[in-house]
Amino acid sequence: MDRTRADKARAVGTWTVGVLAAGAENVEQLARGAETTIEAARASAADAVAVAAATRGREEYRVTIAGTHMMIMPGLDNDGRLDIRGMRYAVHSIRADRVC
């Protein structure tokens, strides 16, 4: 087994971030990864969704961590800017009760 396959075999926290853009019928996958802990997967997914939102704006984001799915629709903060902090908080709130 090569190193990449071995690393994936040890990975506990797989994650994906996608977006369902306005008018689209299918989710576009933006980022994915595999981490050795659920906490690391949450952190990586939170970073990825923050970058996606900063680039793409207010869209419907789909996050999956270790088989647990979440849809995030970002709001605005008190200054009328995209609430990236709230999106990060939402991703970190995902609790994977089982590893898929």
- pTM greater than 0.85 (yes/no): no
pLDDT of 20 strictly over 50: yes
Quote the tokens at residue 86: 């709230």
Give the amino acid at 51: V
In terms of Cα–Cα distance, which of 25, 93, 15, 30 is closest to 61? 30
Q: What is the model's pLDDT at position 24?
A: 93
Cα-based distances in Å from 91 to 1, 33, 37: 32, 15, 15
Q: Which residues contact 35 (CB under 8 A, 6 or more apart)?
A: 11, 12, 13, 14, 15, 41, 44
Domain residues of the chain, as ranges? 3-92
45-60 pLDDT per residue, tens = 999 999 999 999 999 9
